[in-house]
Structure 1
């Protein structure tokens, strides 16, 4: 089957959206599907205001249409709501094509935190964007319920997975810092709520792995914390495995794939009891969810690393791909091939 996936988030951006899209692409191709990935590197771009590490495609509608016409897809999936997602959505609506979308990020909360625009306005935009899609794929039950409560009638659950061959227990001596080592991995942005972690009175060391517009300011504000950047997935996996506790301070993530990567590395999680951690951790004995994040972090140190690893092994990328294929809708000229691919 020929599947077009459109995303405004792509390498070298180090975030969960890129991880999900890239892994899904690879797994689809491993199953002999033909995937066209349309991403910002194929276009003229400008830096995102206030976040220059993120490129935004400039006037992508015409070249995007040409790419899609040449590929002749049998189904279209739009992963993000940026300029490429907007252009792909407009093309599909103009041609009467069905398409699916994904809700990877709480975009309204992120924009609200940076601009203070009213959340109601921002969710109106999101409902407009996702409303015509055949299905909005949500990474957790909590997100699906939240979107349904905000008037999204087409939200469905979509599993997430973790690469347990890449993220695995490894020697702790990769990092030579006083123990216990409390780790955060992810974008260093306002919505990640990093001061809630860095302000904690904890023994040992705090380590932040990631880049983003808040990084320089936080480095100056917290000189006792350690800030590194991982170069490649293998190095990233060693950072994960070296930690004693993974601290996830975000209150706005839709899922938090990094928590699964920590668990697969044999590292327990400390987080607030909010959307994302409640879905990833729940009541499993692999993390501590508490409004007192310091108490959660200290409690997580007592948990069994083997239990963390075993729990993460239950999150399969094959299930993620199965659910995406089930949600896809055939384009009018491709209904028979897509139906056959689902049956196969």
Structure 2
């Protein structure tokens, strides 16, 4: 099967969406499918306001559509709600091509954190983007229920898994843990405002708190929580 994946999040970005898509693309190729990835580095782009690690690509719907047509895609998946996928959506709609979408990120809440506006301001855009898709892929039941409450009912469960090549009970503990007071409490992910890492660091559970990751909130959290690792 030939699958065209359009995404505003791709390498060299480091985040959960890129990690998920990269893993999925690798598995699909291992299973014999052909995958075309259409991503920001192929086009002129600008850094996202307040988040320069993310590049916003600008191009025409016809340009994206030409790639999909030349690839002779059997299926089109739009992974994100950014400008590149908006152009792909426009081409699909104009050419009566069905497509699927995914809801990876709580965008209304994320944008509310960064703009100080209510999340309700952003939900009309989310509904507009996803309502024309054949299916919206979601990873949890809570997200499925949330989208249904926003009148997006065509949601499908997209399960996740654990890469047993990298994670498993036989893996040795990092040597840094030997010096830490137990129990060790761990956060792994982007260090950014929308992750609400403060709630983790403010908890009064005994033991040690470890944060693994990087992001725009790292310096501020290091200064505010000097006892965290």
TM-score by length of 2: 0.92
Instruction: State the SS of the aligned residue for 1:145.
Output: helix
Q: What is the aligned partner in structure 2 of residue 126 from structure 1?
A: 126
CA RMSD of aligned residues (A): 1.7
Q: What is the aligned partner in structure 2 of residue 213 from structure 1?
A: 216
Q: Which runs of 5+ in 2 are unaligned?
A: none
Q: What is the 5 A alignment of 1:172-321?
A: 172-176=173-177, 177-180=179-182, 181-226=184-229
In 1: Cα distance, 2:95 partner to 2:14 partner: 34
Q: What is the aligned partner in structure 2 of residue 80 from structure 1?
A: 80
Q: What is the 5 A alignment of 1:66-77?
A: 66-77=66-77
Q: Are the counterparts in 2 of residues 80 and 104 from structure 1 also a CA contact under 8 Å? A: yes
In 2: Cα distance, 1:121 partner to 1:199 partner: 29
Per the TM alignment, residue 219 of structure 1 is displaced from its structure 2 partner at its CA by 1.4
**How many residues of Structure 1 are paired with residues of Structure 2 in the alignment?**
226
Q: Are the counterparts in 2 of residues 178 and 205 from structure 1 also a CA contact under 8 Å? A: yes
In 1: Cα distance, 2:64 partner to 2:175 partner: 44
Q: What is the aligned partner in structure 2 of residue 93 from structure 1?
A: 93
Q: Are the counterparts in 2 of residues 78 and 102 from structure 1 also a CA contact under 8 Å? A: yes
Alignment deviations for residues 113-154 of structure 1 (CA, whole Å, 9 cap, x no partner): 111223222111111000100011111122111111111131
In 2: Cα distance, 1:129 partner to 1:173 partner: 43
Q: Which runs of 5+ in 1 are unaligned?
A: 227-344
Q: Are the counterparts in 1 of residues 62 and 91 from structure 2 also a CA contact under 8 Å? A: no
Q: Are the counterparts in 1 of residues 192 and 217 from structure 2 also a CA contact under 8 Å? A: yes
Alignment deviations for residues 219-251 of structure 1 (CA, whole Å, 9 cap, x no partner): 11112222xxxxxxxxxxxxxxxxxxxxxxxxx
TM-score by length of 1: 0.62
Per the TM alignment, residue 109 of structure 1 is displaced from its structure 2 partner at its CA by 0.8
Alignment deviations for residues 90-123 of structure 1 (CA, whole Å, 9 cap, x no partner): 1100101000001111111111111122322211
Q: What is the aligned partner in structure 1 of residue 105 from structure 2?
A: 105
Q: Are the counterparts in 1 of residues 65 and 92 from structure 2 also a CA contact under 8 Å? A: no
Q: Are the counterparts in 2 of residues 60 and 83 from structure 1 also a CA contact under 8 Å? A: no
Per the TM alignment, residue 42 of structure 1 is displaced from its structure 2 partner at its CA by 1.7
Q: Are the counterparts in 2 of residues 43 and 60 from structure 1 also a CA contact under 8 Å? A: no
Cα distance change on mapping 1:165 and 1:99 into 2, 3 Å: same
Q: What is the aligned partner in structure 1 of residue 16 from structure 2?
A: 16
In 1: Cα distance, 2:44 partner to 2:100 partner: 25
In 2: Cα distance, 1:118 partner to 1:107 partner: 12
Alignment deviations for residues 58-91 of structure 1 (CA, whole Å, 9 cap, x no partner): 3353542332232121110111101111111111
Per the TM alignment, residue 203 of structure 1 is displaced from its structure 2 partner at its CA by 3.6
Give the stretch that moved more between structures: 4-13 or 78-87. Answer: 4-13
In 1: Cα distance, 2:18 partner to 2:205 partner: 32
